[in-house]
């Protein structure tokens, strides 16, 4: 055999061996017994993380550095009740995009996954399967011959169904019809394990899972109803935080994720006020353009939002009006709604009014980039884009 041919065959067998061996990196949070998974493309180093835990963000960033990975996606299997996600922070610190199941009310996630949707990272693809039961929105995620089952299917068990829109009937269907429909040699990577186990297979769970193997739907429902489990310790804190991708906020829950009509003297003069979190959600979802109306100097010295379009309302020297504002804001909008950001939410109201006169759907971002000054006239401590942990950078 020719030397080149021989080398080619060796390379092919190395590659196919590598593909067979491709496994997720499995990480464990002992406090909540939660597994986090990092998957990546071996060549491009684009990575995806499933169910990251807030307290483990330094560990996860270290893993990304150690393997030389670029985090492209954070993905949740559901809105967790036992830990808080670091998805929002990873979006900020590592530049990842956020994805979550459509039915989980995680409004801050940039991509809302429906059954069958896929996410790409490098040449790799993750596929979402809607597997309701633990919660109504819960999903399992398939990558190559692996399935990440969240709290839908655990090793020898399954997630509880007695809170958070759970349903034993739905869970039985999800496990026996959707997950057990995967090939028997599919590796099962659960969201938790409390007994030191790491993974299983669909084939083993079909025959050995104590909750479902050989059980009828009625037997399964009766078993789930008899569990009488205690309420998760962190549910009241964790679920609302997870609906914001783990970005904690001061007040108001879901109201924060609705625009408020312009009120008082501004009534009717622009489309409304939005929180920084809602503005960022719209931008990530591609439905709005973020326009930064601060001066060039402010963006340079204080910091800027990646992807925002700079259209100063006024400029140094002398804070003169920007004569090109109208043309620039029209061009920035490109047919979408605009969310306007300034230092503390004053100039952005004036700019929103002007953009409205130009025929745009224009919203003011509350609190601005830096928020209100504190008692010592220092900004950045009371509200504002930066304080909420949303993405920003400095040159």
Residues that bind Fe ion (CB under 5 A): 80, 151
What count of other Cβ atoms lies within 10 Å of the Cβ of residue 357?
Answer: 12
The CB-of-83 to Fe ion minimum distance in angstroms stands at 9
Residue 7 parent element (H or E)? helix 3-21
Whole-number Å distance between alpha carbons of 349 and 15: 57
In the bound state with Fe ion, the residue whose beta carbon lies nearer, of 51 and 92, is 51
The CB-of-36 to Fe ion minimum distance in angstroms stands at 14
Phi, psi angles (nearest 5°) of residue 389: 75, 20
> DSSP assignment, residue 332?
H
In the bound state with Fe ion, the residue whose beta carbon lies nearer, of 29 and 151, is 151
In the bound state with Fe ion, the residue whose beta carbon lies nearer, of 166 and 312, is 166
Whole-number Å distance between alpha carbons of 233 and 66: 33
In the bound state with Fe ion, the residue whose beta carbon lies nearer, of 80 and 386, is 80
In the bound state with Fe ion, the residue whose beta carbon lies nearer, of 212 and 332, is 212
The CB-of-37 to Fe ion minimum distance in angstroms stands at 15
In the bound state with Fe ion, the residue whose beta carbon lies nearer, of 138 and 356, is 138
In the bound state with Fe ion, the residue whose beta carbon lies nearer, of 158 and 279, is 158
Q: Are strands 46-50 and 70-75 parallel, antiparallel or unpaired?
A: parallel
Rounded CA Rg of the chain: 24
Q: Which position's Cβ is nearest Fe ion?
A: 151
The CB-of-191 to Fe ion minimum distance in angstroms stands at 7
Whole-number Å distance between alpha carbons of 247 and 108: 9
The CB-of-367 to Fe ion minimum distance in angstroms stands at 32
Residue 168 parent element (H or E)? helix 168-173
The CB-of-87 to Fe ion minimum distance in angstroms stands at 15
Number of helices (H) and strands (E) in the chain: give both, helices first. Answer: 11, 21
The CB-of-82 to Fe ion minimum distance in angstroms stands at 6
In the bound state with Fe ion, the residue whose beta carbon lies nearer, of 108 and 161, is 161
Q: According to DSSP H, which parts of 53-149 are helical?
A: 57-67, 87-94
Residue 126: closest CA among 177, 185, 72: 72
Residue 111 tokens read as: 């991509």
Residue 137 tokens read as: 């929105």
The CB-of-51 to Fe ion minimum distance in angstroms stands at 9
> Do the beta carbons of residue 270 and residue 356 sit within 8 Å?
yes
């Amino acid at each position: 055999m020719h030397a080149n041919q021989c080398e080619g065959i060796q390379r092919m067998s190395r590659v196919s061996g590598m593909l067979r061996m491709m496994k997720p990196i499995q990480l464990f949070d002992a406090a909540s017994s939660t597994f986090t998974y990092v998957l990546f493309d071996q060549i491009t180093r684009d990575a995806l993380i499933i169910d990251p835990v807030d307290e483990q963000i330094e560990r996860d960033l270290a893993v990304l550095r150690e393997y030389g990975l670029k985090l492209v996606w954070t993905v949740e299997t559901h809105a967790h009740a036992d830990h808080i996600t670091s998805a929002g922070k990873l979006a900020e610190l590592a530049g990842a995009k956020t994805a979550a199941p459509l039915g989980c009310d995680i409004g801050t996630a940039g991509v809302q996954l429906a059954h069958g949707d896929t996410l790409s990272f490098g040449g790799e693809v993750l596929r979402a399967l809607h597997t309701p039961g633990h919660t109504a929105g819960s999903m399992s995620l398939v990558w190559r011959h692996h399935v990440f089952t969240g709290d839908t299917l655990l090793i020898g068990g399954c997630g509880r169904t007695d809170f958070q829109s759970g349903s034993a009937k739905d869970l039985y269907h999800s496990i026996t019809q959707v997950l057990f429909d995967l090939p028997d040699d599919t590796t099962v990577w659960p969201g938790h394990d409390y007994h030191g186990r790491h993974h299983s297979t669909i084939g083993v769970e079909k025959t050995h899972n104590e909750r479902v193997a050989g059980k009828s739907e009625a037997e399964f429902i009766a078993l789930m109803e008899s569990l009488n489990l205690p309420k998760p310790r962190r549910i009241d804190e964790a679920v609302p935080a997870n609906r914001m991708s783990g970005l904690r906020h001061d007040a108001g829950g879901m109201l924060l994720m609705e625009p408020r009509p312009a009120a008082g003297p501004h009534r009717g003069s622009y489309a409304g006020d939005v929180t920084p979190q809602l503005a960022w959600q719209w931008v990530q979802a591609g439905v709005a353009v973020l326009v930064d109306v601060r001066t060039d100097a402010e963006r340079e010295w204080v910091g800027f939002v990646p992807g925002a379009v700079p259209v100063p309302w006024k400029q140094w020297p002398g804070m003169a009006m920007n004569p090109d504002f109208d043309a620039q804001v029209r061009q920035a909008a490109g047919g979408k709604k605009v969310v306007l950001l300034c230092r503390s939410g004053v100039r952005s109201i004036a700019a929103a009014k002007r953009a409205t006169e130009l025929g745009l759907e224009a919203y003011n971002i509350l609190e601005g980039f830096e928020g209100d000054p504190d008692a010592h006239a220092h900004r950045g401590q009371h509200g504002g884009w930066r304080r909420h942990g949303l993405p920003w950078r400095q040159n």
